[in-house]
Chain A
């Protein structure tokens, strides 16, 4: 069923506007007339509030305002693991004042084999700003001190090592499949609803390991230990944790986050947005805050997005084929 377009972002804008006007933080708006952006931008997160997509967007908010004098108004459009939002993006106003968070591997995996209402190549991504590297995590008191310990246990009794993660055919599920085939082991992957529930299962001792991210480990630093990180280099927060590459497994990846505009958005506006967010990415304070939470910053501006997406798509298609998601 096709809906007529509801122009109702205004409600949120109105509420946000009223409330922020009422609050103490009344920033002086000093934008030049005629320059982009000359009013607030709606930033839609296709997930619920409180997750990593939300948190990283919230961190951008402040610096966006510092640079432009305008606000990023964050809205949520949760449902279908992002599909509800992405399937509606291209019907929204393409004037540069509506942008939406996009996530890898979600936007590549979802349209494979079934129709979630959008196609990967229909999303006009303009900037990828960071990723949370995949990490294999155990409790502090786990008998698995190293990745080899876990592999040895899994080899000894195939399927007996339980690993929690967020969702099926998700970044975590894929990471586990890749790891299984590289290390030639069999584990039992147990999907949970969200990273929070997956880490709870680990902390409660229900599972022996968890596929999470460096961010998960940063958040539960005192209680967990990472066996290996799927990044090119060791994370500055965890200088003692090896990368999978160092251990001989060619694994890098994680949850990448970027932004897209509706298809009709003019090229110059899109370029403009891309350079604005690149500026935020270069702010040392922003970089420090992101790093402290466990994120890894990347810069993929509009001009490089196509190439980046092509690489990612190829990598995930291989895994998807081996998982039987596509023929």
Chain B
């Protein structure tokens, strides 16, 4: 019960206030397209130096929690995921907003994020040391297969044509090779430009590929951006609650997937939310509605990506290996405060650790009232702002956001070029999601493959390295399942309307 008393420290008025401030700041920063959770946390780190370590950690955790959730606003209302973790939120969130259910989508995202956040924090509280050991079992080869698994999900997620999905993924893979390679230090596709040496930054590609086409369409079509809601409608709390209840198993499964994937350093949120999305679709009785504004789609991705917050702290605290980029910043802040991660976090420094986890719970719970409040205004303002104001404001934010990631003006050029290319490609059926996935998964697959090959060579058996470990075999089985399942289902139903099958 001592631990409980440490957790109660988080409820002291000042810590509580910091959590409120942190959540609100995180939501605001992340709701603007392009300002990422990593940046929100990094900017606020110096502010926390003057605070006692508990307060500093609570504030950083709250900012992070708020930011991951806040990313869903832009995904739902502007079709632009603020973080890779919110990609899948656009699949159903934006169609919901387009047909006038943006308020419901935001409410659902708020509730789901809270559920996901609670499950992730609970795992951090109870299972951290155990789960961290699982994370260590994941080697280069497993990361390679995991990336392949992620790429096979593209076929499942492609609207209409799997072939076009793979064309997009191929383009993304190609883009991911630009710059100095990690292994071998070769310079690839830089065309003599010092700016291209740094490669294509994932977030700027995200902003370009998703946001620019929306802007072009806004200008090109006379209709309103989103369907205005009926008058006098509130936040549709009751409706959201009943949809959540209907999707409770979906939410729970997604939260568990989110936590589990987040403990793998480097793989993180984007894979977590995709896996839970495709699982939700596979098991849903309404799977043909996914991609057209199915509430369960929003529930799945938003529970999963907020579960990654708690999940990502597991390797950060237990192993000193950051699970996600924002975790790396928080780990740095911990070291500067004089704390060392590892078992000490659960022995000598147990007070700080449990106060932090307590703070994470508070921040997650606070997300509900604060999120519903801010979300309502975000929705209202996006719907009511005239187009002539909306388009330049979003355009301005995309440029600032892209520039701010690496303080690199060239990223803005890349963002705009990719946006225009993405707009043209999407007219021919190549959607942005496969491109971005290729870009994210490409380096994971490449590095995993080369490392696995080198290790296999050293041990004398390359085949053994790739096919000899039980964990690899399990992931290979998943790969086969995700490739074969749609084929099997197509064969079984043989419905003539098969073209309408999914997203």
A residues in contact (CB < 8 Å) with B: 1, 3, 6, 8-9, 11-12, 15-16, 19-20, 22-25, 27, 44, 48-51, 54-55, 58-59, 61-62, 71, 73-81, 83-84, 87, 114-118, 159-162, 167-170, 188, 190-193, 196-197, 199-201, 203-207, 218-223, 289, 292-293
Contacts and interface: CB of A to CB of B under 8 A. Distances in A.
Contact of B340 (A117, A197, A207, A221): A221
Nearest to A16: B43
B397 to A, nearest CB: 12
Given A12-B404, A84-B197, A223-B342, A191 B45 contact: no
B180 A83 contact: yes
Contacts of B195: 1, 84
A205 B455 CA distance: 12
Contacts of A218: 340
A235 to B, nearest CB: 16
B343 interface: yes
> Closest 9 interchain pairs by CB?
A79-B198, A117-B194, A25-B50, A50-B328, A80-B197, A188-B458, A168-B185, A204-B136, A23-B47
Given A48-B328, A61-B46, A199-B321, 14 more contacts: A3-B409, A6-B409, A8-B403, A19-B47, A25-B51, A50-B327, A62-B49, A79-B197, A118-B194, A168-B184, A192-B447, A197-B266, A200-B319, A221-B342
B457 interface: yes
A79 B408 contact: yes
Contact of A193 (B43, B182, B319, B335): B182
Nearest to A75: B407
25 contacts: A11-B400, A20-B47, A23-B48, A24-B51, A49-B328, A49-B329, A50-B331, A55-B335, A58-B336, A73-B46, A79-B198, A81-B180, A84-B194, A84-B406, A87-B197, A114-B187, A118-B194, A169-B185, A170-B185, A190-B140, A193-B447, A201-B140, A219-B335, A220-B342, A221-B340
B167 interface: no
Interface string B454-477: 110111100000000000000000
A114 B49 CA distance: 41
B203 to A, nearest CB: 12
B322 interface: yes
A68 B18 CA distance: 29
A74 B50 CA distance: 16
B454 A188 contact: yes
Interface string B319-337: 1111001011101110110
Contacts of A50: 322, 325, 327-329, 331-332
A19 B18 CA distance: 13
A75 B265 CA distance: 24
Interface in B21-43: 21, 25, 38, 42-43
Contacts of B44: 19
A168 B184 CA distance: 5
A162 B454 contact: yes
Nearest to A50: B328
B338 A292 contact: yes
Contacts of A114: 187
Nearest to B465: A206
Nearest to A27: B50
A80 B406 contact: no
Contacts of A61: 46, 49
Contact of B46 (A20, A169, A193): A20
A41 B336 CA distance: 20
A114 B179 CA distance: 13
Nearest to B49: A62
Nearest to B333: A58
B183 A83 contact: no
Given A77-B407, A162-B455, A167-B182, A83 B322 contact: no
Interface string B50-77: 1100000000000000000000000000
Nearest to B186: A168
Nearest to B181: A168
Interface in B142-195: 179-185, 187, 192-195
A71 B43 CA distance: 13
Nearest to A9: B407
A160 B458 contact: yes
Contacts of A161: 458
Contacts of A9: 407
B84 interface: no
B320 to A, nearest CB: 5
A83 B198 contact: yes
Contacts of B322: 50, 196
Contact of B182 (A162, A192, A201, A221): A192
B265 A196 contact: yes
A193 B446 CA distance: 11
B82 interface: no
Contacts of A49: 38, 42, 45, 325, 328-329, 332
Nearest to B447: A193
A165 B407 CA distance: 28
A41 to B, nearest CB: 13
Most chain A CB neighbours (cut-off 10 Å) among B47, B199, B322: B47
A55 B43 contact: no
B341 interface: yes
Contacts of A199: 321
A293 B447 contact: no
Interface string B127-141: 000000000111110
A121 B199 CA distance: 25
B313 to A, nearest CB: 14
Contact of A222 (B139, B194, B343): B343
Most chain B CB neighbours (cut-off 10 Å) among A19, A22, A168, A204: A204
Given A50-B332, A58-B332, A83-B197, A188 B457 contact: yes
Contacts of A167: 182, 185
Contacts of B460: 160
B332 A54 contact: yes
Contacts of A19: 25, 43-44, 47
Nearest to A223: B342
A168 B406 CA distance: 23
Contacts of B42: 49, 74, 76
A19 B50 CA distance: 13
Contacts of B340: 218-219, 221
A124 B329 CA distance: 28
A160 B185 contact: no
Nearest to B444: A193
Contacts of A74: 42, 46
Contacts of B43: 12, 15-16, 19
Most chain B CB neighbours (cut-off 10 Å) among A3, A58, A117: A58
Contact of B341 (A159, A201, A219): A219
Contact of B406 (A78, A201, A223): A78
Contacts of B197: 79-80, 83-84, 87, 116-117
Given A55-B335, A84-B198, A114-B187, A220 B320 contact: yes
